[in-house]
Amino acid sequence: MENNTAAFGRMPDGGAQVDQITLDNGWLRCQVLTYGGAVRSLEVPDRDGRPVDVVLGFDTLEDYLAQDKYMGAIVGRYANRIAGARFTLHDKEYVLCANDGPNSLHGGAVGFDKRVWTAEEVKQDAVTLSLASPDGEEGYPGNLEVRVTYQLYQDTLRILYWARCDQDTVFNPTNHSYFNLSGHASGRVEDQHIRLFSDHYTPIGPGLIPVRTADGDGCEMPVLPVDGTPMDLRRAQPIGARIGEDFPQLALAGGYDHNWVLRPNSGLPAAMAFSKNTGIAMSVHTDMPGIQFYAGNFLGGCPAGKGGAAYGDRCGFCLETQFFPDSPNRPDFPSCVLRAGEEFHSQTSYRFFCRDSIDTP
Ligand code: BGC
């Protein structure tokens, strides 16, 4: 056991101890909490070699307990929304917690983000956290075992997801880190660049639930092309460049908060981001079929952040790799069903490097 684990706090009413594990590989430094499996800090060298903490987080466990932003956390069992907080699997209906109007968001009332995980294996540059989610928890079927590994590998934070269930179930884990590549305390992110390697997105209706929309020929379309819309982020551009345009999809979500459809097996990243202030660029790679780009539109109202930093709206952005929202109710989307006894494996990585501009290869 490495000596990089420290007590961070204790859950209310004499509950479990929460630990913080500090990972360091000489290039990146990352603090992980057993509460929510959250990434609390991630230090990355800027263009002058100075460490910059590029994720938002809090100083105390009390602040984590007081916020509802899924700050840095592992989200599950089902990241994003399930319409009507219910789904049917093998002719049986499962009723979930409606914690986002009539819909279920990010696993329900007490999702993975609010659980205390067990640190199974702690190394200098990696930690594996585990969680057991009993049959029926938050309405989901099956006893689910989950393991998430955070690993620093050279200039990359890798997140490896593993799970197994004793019944067929649905499963869609993600990480909900809020990035600010100018530094977590540097304010709004609209001047930071974003690039998504995606030609289509899943259009949403009320409650941010994906809808089928009719195309010009009256055909029902589960996904829409980004062409000619502010959803086209295929060329790097400041997050704020088009976020305020008069476009119904943006009005529904208060800005970017949508699922983009990734190009399978393209070898390309899913996304890139860049801060001209620090020169820090980030590329995101994943084997998941979608990515939620959330511009932190409703981040305001959380407790003061690390060192007293004020985290208002759009002071951080999330790039949540995932199955498409509401997949359990959408047979036309890639399947999020995890079969009994089968092993779920998935990997997402966030790579950091410095550039003059995001278009520089
Ligand atoms: C969702 C947002 C939601 C936020 C909660 C994001 O993943 O896409 O719609 O408000 O999580 O903090």
DSSP, residue by residue, 53-106: E-B---SSHHHHHH--S-TT-EE-SB-SEEGGGEEEETTEEEE----BTBBEET
Digit-by-digit pLDDT tens for the chain (361 residues) are 568 999 999 999 999 999 999 999 999 999 999 999 999 999 999 999 999 999 999 999 999 999 999 999 999 999 999 999 999 999 999 999 999 999 999 999 999 999 999 999 999 999 999 999 999 999 999 999 999 999 999 999 999 999 999 999 999 999 999 999 999 999 999 999 999 999 999 999 999 999 988 777 777 889 999 999 999 999 999 999 999 999 999 999 999 999 999 998 889 999 999 999 999 999 999 999 999 999 999 999 999 999 999 999 999 999 999 999 999 999 999 999 999 999 999 999 999 999 988 764 4
> CA-based Rg of the chain, rounded to a whole angstrom?
19
Q: Is 298 in the pocket of ligand 1 (CB under 6 A)?
A: yes
Please state the atom number of ligand 1 nearest to the C-alpha of residue 174.
7
- Class for domain 5-354, per CATH? mainly beta
- pLDDT for the residue 361: 43
Annotation says 120 is catalytic: no
Please state the atom number of ligand 1 nearest to the C-alpha of residue 70.
12
Residue located nearest, by CA, to atom 9 of ligand 1: 257
Q: pTM (2 decimals)?
A: 0.97
**Catalytic residue from among 106, 176, 193, 200:** 176
Q: How many A from CA of 294 to the centre of ligand 1?
A: 7
Which of 106, 113, 250, 320 is the best mutation target for the ligand 1 pocket, counting ligand atoms within 8 Å of the beta carbon and taking the most?
106
CA distance 169 to 140: 7
Q: How many A from CA of 320 to the centre of ligand 1?
A: 10
CA distance 180 to 270: 18
**Percent of the chain scoring above 70 in pLDDT:** 99
Q: Is 67 in the pocket of ligand 1 (CB under 6 A)?
A: no
CA distance 301 to 263: 36
Q: Is 113 in the pocket of ligand 1 (CB under 6 A)?
A: no
Q: How many A from CA of 2 to the centre of ligand 1?
A: 35
CA distance 80 to 172: 8
How many helical (H) and strand (E) elements, i.e. helices and strands, does the chain have?
Answer: 2, 29
Q: How many A from CA of 356 to the centre of ligand 1?
A: 31
DSSP 149: E
CA distance 44 to 281: 10
CA distance 254 to 27: 36
Q: Parse the chain into domains and list their residue ranges.
A: 5-354
Closest Cα to residue 140, out of 93, 202, 73, 193? Answer: 93
Annotation says 345 is catalytic: no
Which of 67, 68, 70 is the best mutation target for the ligand 1 pocket, counting ligand atoms within 8 Å of the beta carbon and taking the most?
70
Please state the atom number of ligand 1 nearest to the C-alpha of residue 68.
12
Q: Per residue in 58-109, pLDDT tens? A: 999 999 999 999 999 999 999 999 999 999 999 999 999 999 999 999 999 9
CA distance 37 to 34: 5
